[in-house]
């Protein structure tokens, strides 16, 4: 029984160290995501938030916001079309 106590402490310390390293990895990954610049849904064009909290996902390092999760399926059918739409909208704002 006395031999189990140090073993349990080592296991607990390893688990805690692994959890803190996982958190660091998540933070560094988020830094690589480009923020979504529009106030409208990329798929339907409605103002975000009108129908509740927007659904947010990341596509190739770009944060995407749509009205709800079902619109991600529409995005996934032709992501190049929507990424181009986003790039065009950003270019328009920069002018």
Q: Where are the beta strands (DSSP E) in the chain?
A: 55-59, 62-66
Give pTM, 2 decimals: 0.66
Give the model's confidence band at 65: pLDDT under 50 very low, under 70 low, under 90 confident, else very high: very high
Return the closest-CA partner of residue 29 out of 61, 3, 51. 61
Show me where the domains of the chain are located: 1-32, 33-95
- Any residues with CB less than 8 A from the CB of 67 and at least 6 apart, and which? 41, 43, 44, 46, 48, 50, 51, 54, 55
Q: Is the pLDDT of residue 53 over 60?
A: yes
Give the model's confidence band at 25: pLDDT under 50 very low, under 70 low, under 90 confident, else very high: very low
Give the model's confidence band at 94: pLDDT under 50 very low, under 70 low, under 90 confident, else very high: confident
Q: Is the pLDDT of residue 2 over 80?
A: no
> Comparing 11-15, 23-27, 86-90, which segment has the lowest mean pLDDT?
23-27
């Amino acid at each position: 029984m006395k031999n189990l106590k140090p073993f349990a402490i080592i296991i607990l310390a390893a688990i805690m160290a692994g959890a803190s390293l996982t958190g660091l990895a998540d933070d560094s990954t988020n830094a690589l995501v480009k923020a979504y610049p529009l106030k409208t849904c990329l798929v339907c064009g409605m103002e975000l938030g009108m129908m509740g909290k927007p659904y947010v996902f990341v596509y190739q390092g770009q944060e995407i916001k749509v009205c709800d999760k079902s619109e991600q399926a529409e995005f996934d059918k032709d992501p190049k079309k929507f990424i181009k739409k986003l790039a065009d909208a950003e270019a328009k704002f920069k002018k």
